[in-house]
Each structure stands twice: as structure tokens, then as C-alpha cells.
């Protein structure tokens, strides 16, 4: 991909697609003015079109111009924003309007740096305003564009990281056409919203798929690279595999709330001393440490749990302790009839290879 081609085919193909399949009837497109474009761009920060559209209509009906916005009480602006979230956007919008009144003759400046200097306007929003309102030649890099470029160029790494984001800005600049900047800017966002979607993109309808690295290599499901999961707490717990003389195993029913609610599991303890306490109080014949079995790693959504099993055979409950609703001996053949957490069941049923769960909702079917 040469950056020096005069009319990047990326842009021309995108524009051609946009003419037939783009969104041409969004509320802020009719009429299109710098103020309305600005307002729409701010409303659409981290907010989907479907959500923002009714707020936009209500907002411009009440405050149809930058001057009206600047003169409005903050409370009125917040009332119009109420329900949209990210309320600093509304406060910044209001402040920026007033700065435009005092510093830019009552209009939005037609200058990237001057726009970025206003509160609530970053580089991408400033570029979108200039391109959409004036047709000026600036690249945007919002979530849609990041996703599209990461796929088209096969860029690995989370787009939120500065290094990847820098690379994506370079690509975005390289693809810029020399005219139709407003349409081109809208086309990128429309493609991302309707074709190059996060999950299950419609590559068969994409004007860029013939040169898309992700499509050609079957990587659309893994690009863009997802945000790295933040470190989850790591816990460990001892579990006691206690068998009586008939080979039955002692199971306990967990409380009705929390992890594995109401399921049957092996007696569990947070530390070594608690294991000893449990055995001393309830079990006859559990001498020493028992057989130490390999740890079982189990991942929950919010923490990881290492289960450390130990096994004792030929033990019995102390006579003072009875079988009851929360504790019972279970024959191996009866395990199938009980609700038992998967890792515990695998342990008890003899360590068949664990089935790797695919928990990724965005995978290709």
C-alpha cells in the first residue's frame, strides 16, 4: 500500500459504496451546519446513533444555535442532556460555546488546533467537525475507523494503546482523499456501523474486502485486538476428598447465594489450619495430610481460583455429625444426579481431559 497514490483506492471504493449504501438521512445532516455537526459529534462520543438521535432533535429545537447555547443557563443544558450520560460533555459544550462567543466572534473556529483547545473537543472530534462542516481535509480516528483500519491493515495490538493508535493515525492520514471529505468521513463511520461491525461483520457486502488483511486471513473475529483483561485476583482454597469404607464421597451443599450457589461440592477451606480444624471436628480416620493431588485452576469472571485437593480414604463421620440436607455421602454412581461444579465433577469422575469452553461471544460461528 503506497501512501503516495493520488487517489487511494481505499477512499474511492469507500465513497462509491457510500453513495449507494451510506446513511444520508441522519438528523444532523439536514441541515448541516458547524454547530449541528459539533453537537452531534459530542453527543456521539461513546454513544450510539440510535440513542443520540432523539436527544439531538430535542436539543437543537430548544437551542438552535451556538449563540443560543452560550446564552442558556447551565441547568437548561443539563436538562436537555439528562439521560445521555457523560454529563461533562454537556458542561464542556456549554463552556466551549461561551469561549467561542468571547474568543471566536461567536462562531466555531475553522481551525484544528483552535477546536482542540476548546473543552470537550479532542483531535478526532475536531477533525470530524472540520471535515463534515467545511469539507476540510483532516483524518478522524474514532472507534469505527480504528476497527476498520486494524482489520484492513491487519494491525495487531489493542487500538487503545498509544503505539497502536499512532500507527492507526498514520493509516488514516494515508487514505485521505483530496475531495468529498464530508462524505468520506461519514462513509467510514457508516461502514463501521453497518458493515465492518464489531461482531459478525458483513464482509460479503464490504467494498474493501478484496484487500482487507483480516478478511483475507480469516482474522476478522480477532481484530481489532481486544482490550487486555485487567489482572484478576488470585485465590486458592483447599478441597477435601473424603471417602468412606464403601467408596462413597462426602459432599456438602453450598449456600444458596454466591459462587456455585446451592451446588454440591467437596468440603472446602481457605487455608491449611481450617482443613485441620474441619477434620478434627467432623472426621474419624483422616490422618496426616492425605494424598496431595495436583491443583485445579479454575477461572471465574472476576477472580481465579486454584483448588488444592487432598484425598483420604476409609474415613467416617464422627458419630455426633449426621447426614443432613447440607452434607451427605454419595456413591460414585450417584454423582450424575447431583448439581456439581464442573471442575469438582472432573476431579471426582477421574480426570477426563477438561473441555475447553469457548466463552467468546464475538467468535465466528
Partner DNA sequence: AATTCGGGGCC
Partner DNA sequence: GGCCCAGAATT
Q: Residues in the site for DNA, rule: CB under 7 A? A: 26, 28, 40-41, 44-51, 83-88, 92, 116, 118-126, 128, 142-144, 147, 161-163, 186, 189-190, 192-193, 198-200, 226-227, 229-230, 301-302, 361-362
Q: How far apart (Å, rounded) are the C-alpha atoms in residues 180 and 157?
A: 31
Q: Is 12 exposed, middle or buried (0-12, 13-18, 19+ CB in 10 A)?
A: middle
Q: How far is the CB of 122 from DNA (least distance, A)?
A: 2
Which helix (DSSP H) or strand (DSSP E) does residue 153 occupy?
Answer: none
For DNA, which is the closer residue by CB, 228 or 351?
228
For DNA, which is the closer residue by CB, 49 or 263?
49
Q: Packing angle between helix 123-134 and helix 181-194, nearest 10 degrees?
A: 120
Q: Which of 95, 320, 96, 362 is nearest to 224 (CA)?
A: 362
For DNA, which is the closer residue by CB, 162 or 218?
162
Q: How far is the CB of 317 from DNA (least distance, A)?
A: 33
For DNA, which is the closer residue by CB, 198 or 318?
198
Q: Which three cell numbers stand for residue 47?
A: 454513544
Q: How far is the CB of 132 from DNA (least distance, A)?
A: 8
Largest Cα separation within the chain, whole Å, is 91
Q: How far is the CB of 37 from DNA (least distance, A)?
A: 9
3-state secondary structure of 263: coil
243 is catalytic: no
Query: How many other C-beta atoms are found inside a 10 Å radius of the C-beta of residue 211?
Result: 14
Q: Which three cell numbers stand for residue 38?
A: 459539533
DSSP-derived secondary structure letter, 243: B
3-state secondary structure of 306: strand
Q: How far is the CB of 190 from DNA (least distance, A)?
A: 7
Query: How many other C-beta atoms are found inside a 10 Å radius of the C-beta of residue 323?
Result: 10
For DNA, which is the closer residue by CB, 225 or 252?
225
Q: Is 128 exposed, middle or buried (0-12, 13-18, 19+ CB in 10 A)?
A: buried
Which residues are the active-site residues? 41
Amino acid at each position: 500500500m503506497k501512501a503516495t497514490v493520488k487517489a487511494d483506492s481505499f477512499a474511492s471504493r469507500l465513497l462509491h459504496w457510500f453513495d449507494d449504501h451510506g446513511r444520508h438521512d441522519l438528523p444532523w445532516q439536514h441541515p448541516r451546519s458547524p454547530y449541528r455537526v459539533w453537537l452531534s459529534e459530542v453527543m456521539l462520543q461513546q454513544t450510539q446513533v440510535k440513542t443520540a438521535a432523539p436527544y439531538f432533535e430535542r436539543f437543537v429545537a430548544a437551542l438552535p444555535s451556538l449563540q443560543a447555547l452560550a446564552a442558556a443557563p447551565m441547568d437548561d443544558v443539563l436538562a436537555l442532556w439528562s439521560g445521555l450520560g457523560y454529563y461533562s460533555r454537556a458542561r464542556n459544550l456549554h463552556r466551549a460555546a461561551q469561549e467561542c462567543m468571547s474568543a471566536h466572534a461567536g462562531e466555531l473556529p475553522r481551525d484544528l488546533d483552535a477546536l482542540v483547545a476548546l473543552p470537550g473537543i479532542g483531535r478526532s472530534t475536531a477533525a470530524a467537525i472540520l471535515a463534515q462542516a467545511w469539507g476540510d481535509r483532516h483524518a478522524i480516528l474514532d472507534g469505527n475507523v480504528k476497527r476498520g483500519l486494524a482489520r484492513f491493515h491487519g494491525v495487531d495490538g489493542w487500538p487503545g494503546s498509544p503505539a497502536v493508535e499512532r500507527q492507526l493515525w498514520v493509516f488514516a492520514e494515508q487514505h485521505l482523499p483530496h475531495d468529498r471529505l464530508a462524505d468520506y468521513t461519514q462513509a467510514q463511520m457508516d461502514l463501521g456501523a453497518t458493515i465492518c461491525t464489531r461482531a459478525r461483520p458483513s464482509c460479503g457486502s464490504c467494498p474493501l474486502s478484496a484487500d482487507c488483511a483480516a478478511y483475507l486471513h480469516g482474522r476478522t473475529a480477532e481484530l481489532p485486538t481486544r482490550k487486555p483483561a485487567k489482572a484478576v485476583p488470585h485465590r486458592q482454597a483447599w478441597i477435601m476428598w473424603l471417602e468412606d469404607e464403601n467408596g462413597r464421597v462426602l459432599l456438602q451443599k453450598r449456600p444458596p447465594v454466591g459462587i456455585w450457589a446451592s451446588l454440591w461440592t467437596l468440603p472446602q477451606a481457605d487455608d491449611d489450619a481450617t482443613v485441620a480444624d474441619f477434620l478434627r471436628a467432623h472426621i474419624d480416620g483422616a490422618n496426616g495430610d492425605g494424598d496431595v493431588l495436583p491443583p485445579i485452576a479454575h477461572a471465574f469472571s472476576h477472580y481465579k481460583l486454584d483448588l488444592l485437593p487432598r484425598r483420604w480414604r476409609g474415613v467416617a463421620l464422627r458419630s455426633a455429625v449426621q447426614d443432613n440436607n447440607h452434607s451427605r455421602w454419595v456413591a460414585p454412581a450417584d454423582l450424575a444426579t447431583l448439581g456439581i461444579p464442573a471442575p469438582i465433577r472432573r476431579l471426582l469422575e477421574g480426570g477426563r481431559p477438561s473441555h475447553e469452553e469457548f466463552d467468546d461471544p464475538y467468535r465466528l460461528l
